[in-house]
């Protein structure tokens, strides 16, 4: 018999996946000196694009690719605003967010033409790893997930190595700390930031497509429900480090898992209170991080070639 705690821990990893995907991308964006507050919106566009791709073709892989493409396009838009034009990054990010809400809502109503939540897809299902998934306790927690979750877990150390152990990662961090000094060393600041912002868009697009392809298997307007903002908190909590972000994403995944568990097992507690738990956790975390933030020195500051 599977213990409830094993189910909760398994759900923790599953629920943390979109948060981790978006956070990993944003880590690279912020390490390069760009602040992207449009993650929530990019995830939303990726969620619709992923759903539409899978719905129209019956192929989940196509859905993932359309989510990637949508995220890349939104990343290009953000990079043009923040890198090329040097626009205020807070305003640019919020504009991307608001634009994405309107765009995804308009497209879903025009293309799907049905009430939100009534059109479903098959989506991704659990893919237990043979033998490993049968290992007591550990197998039930770690090796009974969908393919996107496995890939995300593998991607985390790879991105950590790229950021901290490669010359390209060093360039990213140099650009985020002192772009003028980096430029004098021959580093193309604009190109580095373009790559990072577009990569962040791709990751946010994949994170959004995960919601419709792997978690819900339906399209609901504003399906992200603030998850992009939580991803930003994970980035701050993780101090822009992929490994720490993994811990932060799992923490919020656990809160989500407990929220769903208690809604069923403790019906006396109002479900509205349960829905508040992730956001209450955000407030507590941010209060604890006041004065301890260690952001890149050039974060949010537009760069102009001298």
> What are the angstrom distances between the C-alpha of 5 and each of 2, 138, 194, 229, 257?
8, 12, 43, 28, 10
The pTM assigned to this predicted structure is 0.93
Predicted confidence (pLDDT) at residue 306 exceeds the cutoff of 80: no
The larger pLDDT score, comparing residue 287 to residue 65, is at 65
The larger pLDDT score, comparing residue 263 to residue 244, is at 244
* pLDDT value of position 263: 78
End-to-end CA separation in angstroms for the chain: 67
pLDDT tens sequence across 168-217: 999 999 999 999 999 999 999 999 999 999 999 999 999 999 999 999 99
The larger pLDDT score, comparing residue 277 to residue 6, is at 6
* pLDDT value of position 1: 40
Domains of the chain, by residue range, sit at 18-125+132-227
- Percent pLDDT > 90 in the chain is 74
What 3-state DSSP class applies to 120? strand
> What are the angstrom distances between the C-alpha of 157 and each of 14, 19, 272?
18, 16, 36
Predicted confidence (pLDDT) at residue 2 exceeds the cutoff of 60: no
Q: Mean pLDDT across the stretch 152-157? A: 97
Predicted confidence (pLDDT) at residue 107 exceeds the cutoff of 70: yes
Q: Mean pLDDT across the stretch 236-247? A: 95
Structural contact between residues 75 and 197, judged by C-beta atoms closer than 8 angstroms: yes
pLDDT tens sequence across 58-87: 999 999 999 999 999 999 999 999 999 999
**Chain-wide mean pLDDT for the chain?**
92
Rg value, the chain, Cα: 19
* pLDDT value of position 288: 74
What 3-state DSSP class applies to 116? coil
Measured distance CA(51)–CA(92) in Å, rounded: 26
- pLDDT class of 292 with cuts at 50, 70, 90: low
Phi-psi category of residue 293: left, alpha or beta, with phi > 0 → left and psi -120 to 50 → alpha = beta
Of 21-30, 32-41, 118-127, least confident by mean pLDDT is 118-127
Predicted confidence (pLDDT) at residue 46 exceeds the cutoff of 50: yes
- pLDDT class of 279 with cuts at 50, 70, 90: confident
**CA nearest to 47, candidates 197, 221, 196, 200:** 221
Predicted confidence (pLDDT) at residue 16 exceeds the cutoff of 60: yes
* pLDDT value of position 3: 59
Give the list of residues 6+ apart from residue 302 with CB closer than 8 angstroms, or none: 82, 86, 87, 89
Structural contact between residues 234 and 249, judged by C-beta atoms closer than 8 angstroms: yes
Q: Mean pLDDT across the stretch 225-244? A: 94
Structural contact between residues 228 and 39, judged by C-beta atoms closer than 8 angstroms: yes
């Amino acid at each position: 018999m599977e213990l409830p705690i094993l189910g909760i821990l398994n759900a923790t990893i599953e629920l943390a996946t979109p948060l981790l995907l978006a956070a990993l991308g944003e880590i690279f964006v912020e390490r390069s000196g760009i602040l992207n507050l449009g993650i929530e919106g990019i995830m939303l566009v990726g969620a619709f694009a992923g759903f539409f791709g899978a719905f129209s073709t019956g192929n989940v892989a196509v859905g993932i690719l359309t989510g990637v493409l949508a995220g890349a396009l939104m990343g290009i838009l953000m990079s043009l605003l923040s890198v090329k034009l040097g626009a205020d990054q807070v305003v640019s990010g919020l504009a991307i967010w608001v634009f994405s809400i309107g765009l995804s809502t308009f497209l879903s109503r025009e293309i799907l033409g049905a009430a939100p939540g009534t059109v479903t897809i098959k989506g991704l299902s659990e893919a237990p790893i043979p033998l490993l998934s049968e290992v007591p306790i550990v197998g039930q927690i770690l090796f009974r997930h969908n393919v996107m979750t496995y890939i995300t877990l593998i991607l985390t150390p790879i991105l950590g190595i790229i950021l901290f152990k490669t010359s390209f990662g060093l360039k990213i961090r140099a650009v985020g700390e002192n772009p003028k000094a980096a430029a004098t060393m021959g580093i193309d600041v604009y190109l580095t930031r373009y790559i990072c912002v577009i990569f962040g868009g791709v990751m946010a697009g994949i994170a959004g497509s995960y919601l419709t392809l792997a978690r819900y298997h339906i399209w609901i307007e504003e399906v992200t429900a603030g998850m992009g903002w939580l991803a930003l908190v994970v980035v701050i909590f993780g101090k822009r480090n992929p490994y720490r972000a993994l811990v932060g994403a799992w923490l919020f995944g656990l809160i989500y898992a407990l929220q769903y568990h208690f809604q069923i097992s403790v019906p006396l507690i109002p479900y509205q209170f349960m829905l508040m738990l992730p956001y209450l956790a955000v407030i507590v975390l941010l209060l604890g991080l006041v004065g301890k933030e260690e952001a890149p020195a050039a974060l949010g500051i537009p760069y102009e070639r001298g």
